[in-house]
């Protein structure tokens, strides 16, 4: 089996003076290409730290992080930024859209960083927006002119516009009503069915149940691995 993400005995220890606080304690995790993974656990359990390791936003204190076959554990900040831009797409709870920019300008940001020519950027933005069920008329609007669910779809379009290998989502439905959350998870499922690897951190069992496998993390350790209950996936329910 081909693994796109491998964490091997990963520790993350934060230091404040002489005080050490372990956020991750020897985590081992393998994610296959095209897999949809959910990570659940209480606040402070290490979920976001784990996502930051995979997303090249932080380095482990010890242990190895391997993405797409490359050990990225000890890259320089510049190298991490390069691989992050090409390998990873991020979706956040609070959308992280820039209010003064149009939807077009928000979605194209990863492409600007790559130096993609303007005409090609416009084509790729329209394609990404269509993939998440967005509409071209949104392109000239500011994020505040859209609903929360629409803004999150714009955020997903920004995350996938550069055709990343991995989509990371940190509580992607946390700020949404149930109807909007259902649309977002339907979008994730569709993208995953097209081959995109999806890893999401969530408190919501109905979101976790849309995945292929659920990892439970507590006190910096993975303590359980369980299958989802597909009929309880929010994208498969009619309530809300």
**Alpha carbon distances (Å) from 62 to 58, 105, 115, 140, 231:** 12, 38, 34, 46, 39
Q: What is the DSSP string of 61-99?
A: SEEEEEETTEE-TT--HHHHHHHHHHHEEEEETT----T
Over residues 67-95, the mean pLDDT reads 90
Q: Are 7 and 56 in contact (CB under 8 A)?
A: no
pLDDT at 240: 43
Above 70 in pLDDT, residue 124? yes
d(CA 235, CA 185): 6
- DSSP letter for each residue of 140-166: GS-GGGS-HHHHHHHHHHHHHTT--SE
Domain that holds residue 138: 3-236
| Whole-angstrom distance, CA of residue 69 vs CA of residue 3 | 8
Nearest to 34 by CA among 235, 189, 210, 219: 189
Q: pLDDT for 24-54, tens place per residue?
A: 999 999 999 999 999 999 988 999 999 999 9
| C-alpha to C-alpha distance for 215 and 228, rounded to whole angstroms | 10
Q: Is the pLDDT of residue 144 over 60?
A: yes
| Number of domains comprising the chain | 1
Please report, for the domain that includes residue 116, its CATH number: 3.40.50.300
| 98's tokens | 């820039």
Give the model confidence (pLDDT) of 197-236 as tens digits.
999 999 999 999 999 999 999 999 999 999 999 999 998 8
Instruction: Tell me if 38 sits within 8 A of 207, measured CB to CB.
Output: yes
């Amino acid at each position: 089996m081909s693994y796109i993400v491998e964490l091997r005995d990963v520790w993350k220890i934060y230091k404040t003076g002489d005080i050490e606080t372990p956020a991750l304690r020897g985590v081992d995790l393998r994610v296959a290409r095209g897999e949809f993974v959910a990570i659940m656990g209480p606040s402070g359990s290490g979920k976001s730290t784990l996502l930051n390791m995979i997303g090249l936003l932080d380095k482990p204190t010890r242990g190895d992080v391997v993405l797409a076959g490359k050990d990225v554990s000890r890259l320089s900040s510049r190298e991490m930024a390069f691989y992050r831009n090409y390998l990873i797409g991020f979706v956040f709870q609070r959308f992280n859209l820039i209010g003064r920019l149009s939807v077009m300008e928000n979605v194209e940001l990863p492409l600007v960083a790559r130096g993609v020519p303007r005409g090609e950027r416009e084509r790729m933005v329209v394609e990404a927006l269509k993939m998440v069920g967005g509409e071209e008329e949104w392109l000239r609007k500011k994020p505040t002119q859209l609903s929360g669910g629409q803004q999150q779809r714009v955020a997903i379009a920004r995350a996938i516009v550069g055709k990343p290998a991995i989509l990371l989502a940190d509580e992607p439905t946390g700020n949404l009503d149930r109807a909007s959350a259902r649309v977002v998870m339907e979008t994730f499922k569709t993208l995953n069915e097209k081959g995109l690897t999806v890893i999401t951190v969530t408190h919501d069992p109905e979101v976790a149940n849309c995945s292929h496998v659920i990892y439970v993390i507590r006190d910096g350790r993975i303590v359980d691995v369980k299958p989802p209950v597909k009929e309880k996936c929010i994208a498969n329910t009619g309530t809300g």
